[in-house]
Structure 1
Amino acid sequence: MKVCLVGSSGGHLTHLYMLKPFWENKERFWVTFDKEDARSLLEGEKMYPCYFPTNRNIKNLIRNTFVALKVLKKEKPDVIISSGAAVAVPFFYLGKLFGAKLIYIEVFDRIDKSTMTGKIVYPIVDKFIVQWDEQKKVYPKAVNLGSIF
């Protein structure tokens, strides 16, 4: 199984990194911002940089769509996992076309309303994971697996 872990640097990347017991024995690659925290955390990992800022930035959404197309064609992941933010959107929509399974983890600090990325990818994901029961009111098809922390 080949895993693509895609997310913004900072807290989103930290969420994904905390899934290490799941991904550490799998073939994997990362897509995130080329920033110091990401380079430090992912030292020795296969990483593809993407463009930022992403939130409400149409230019970088288009640029990241081309990054997603290139990376997904080359790597052909079986599953794509993200905890946000907006960089996940092109990877999820194109990944769906390529036949990848999609897993989205809604962020820990949104308890009673959706994130923009969560709202955009919710209709197409194979598994939508929340960390609070209250989030199931926003995402009825979600699965609560509890806190990642």
Structure 2
Amino acid sequence: MTVLLGTVVAVVLISVLFIIRLFIVVKTGWKHKAGSRGSVAALVVAGSGGHTTEILRLMESLSAAYTPRHYVIADTDRMSEEKICSFESSKQHSDSESQFTIYRIPRSREVHQSWTSSVLSTLTALCYSLPLVFRLRPDMVLCNGPGTCVPLCVAGLLLGILGMKKVLIVYVESICRVETLSLTGKILYFISDYFFVQWSSLRDKYPKSIFLGRIV
């Protein structure tokens, strides 16, 4: 009964947020404003393994204007923090003012976790994501597929719905997704501001998506 109730709450919440977002975009529109001195505060969601590798490759192409950088990883991820620190250490050679922080939140869904129990774990992750995003108030949330990014993007969306700050949601589908979107991609396709795919076959199936070739 608890699992069923959690599922209904999650579906209703996502539906309401999606409808409100469509209303705001259609009726008023949004214009993104960068942070002070042209800087863009970025909240970067790193998954584990290949997701972290891909997101860091993407970060290599971003200018020094994307600062501070707030990385978020799952609390059970034991490898990403070291990769992020190594990446930022190398970046500091060319950017003496490099600023980054790393935060941990509960994982939305573990590998092979049942769909019913993942609803509850996602709601738990959302409870951690809301105060974090509301405190950091990033200009952009950048992610590429890990389930951990869903509650963070929802929190960023809510920040805009409440009129506190517009947060751009930028999603880059993993390069390993050739014919179909990941579950995370299927969810964020509807709420992201920019949705990038890396195969033309996906661009043809999802008209909102942006195809620029291989970007990671």
- The normalised TM-score by structure 2 is 0.64
> Following the alignment from structure 1 to structure 2, what is the Cα–Cα distance between the partners of residues 52 and 68?
11
Name the counterpart of 1:88. 149
Q: Is the 8 A contact 1:130 1:143 kept in 2?
A: yes
CA-CA distance at 1:122 after TM superposition: 0.6
Name the counterpart of 1:2. 41
Name the counterpart of 2:71. 30
CA-CA distance at 1:7 after TM superposition: 3.2
Residue pairs, 1:22-101, within 5 angstroms: 22=62, 24-26=64-66, 27-34=68-75, 35-43=77-85, 45-52=100-107, 54=109, 56=115, 57-98=118-159, 99-101=166-168
SS at match of 2:157: helix
Structure 1 window deviating more from structure 2 (67-76 vs 19-28): it is 19-28
**Bigger Rg, which one:** 2
Per residue, is there more strand in 1 or in 2?
A: 1
User: Which among 164, 170, 179 is matched to residue 103 of structure 1?
Assistant: 170
Are residues 115 and 38 of structure 1, via their aligned partners in 2, closer, same or farther at CA, if it must alter by over 3 Å? same
Structure 1 window deviating more from structure 2 (112-121 vs 19-28): it is 19-28
> Following the alignment from structure 1 to structure 2, what is the Cα–Cα distance between the partners of residues 139 and 7?
24
Q: Is the 8 A contact 1:12 1:107 kept in 2?
A: yes
> Following the alignment from structure 2 to structure 1, what is the Cα–Cα distance between the partners of residues 43 and 199?
25
> Following the alignment from structure 2 to structure 1, what is the Cα–Cα distance between the partners of residues 174 and 212?
12
Structure 2 unaligned runs (5+)? 1-39, 89-99, 160-165
- The normalised TM-score by structure 1 is 0.90
Could you list the runs of 4 or more consecutive aligned residues of structure 1 that deviate by over 6 angstroms after TM superposition? none
Q: Matched residue pairs, number?
A: 149
Name the amino acid aligned to 1:135.
L
> Following the alignment from structure 2 to structure 1, what is the Cα–Cα distance between the partners of residues 108 and 41?
27
Identity of aligned residues (%): 26
SS at match of 1:125: coil
Per residue, is there more helix in 1 or in 2?
A: 2
Structure 1 unaligned runs (5+)? none
Q: Is the 8 A contact 1:65 1:91 kept in 2?
A: yes
Name the counterpart of 1:144. 211
> Following the alignment from structure 1 to structure 2, what is the Cα–Cα distance between the partners of residues 89 and 23?
25
Q: RMSD of the TM alignment (CA)?
A: 1.8
Are residues 53 and 119 of structure 1, via their aligned partners in 2, closer, same or farther at CA, if it must alter by over 3 Å? closer
Name the counterpart of 1:16. 55
CA-CA distance at 1:33 after TM superposition: 2.1
User: Which among 108, 124, 128 is matched to residue 191 of structure 2?
Assistant: 124
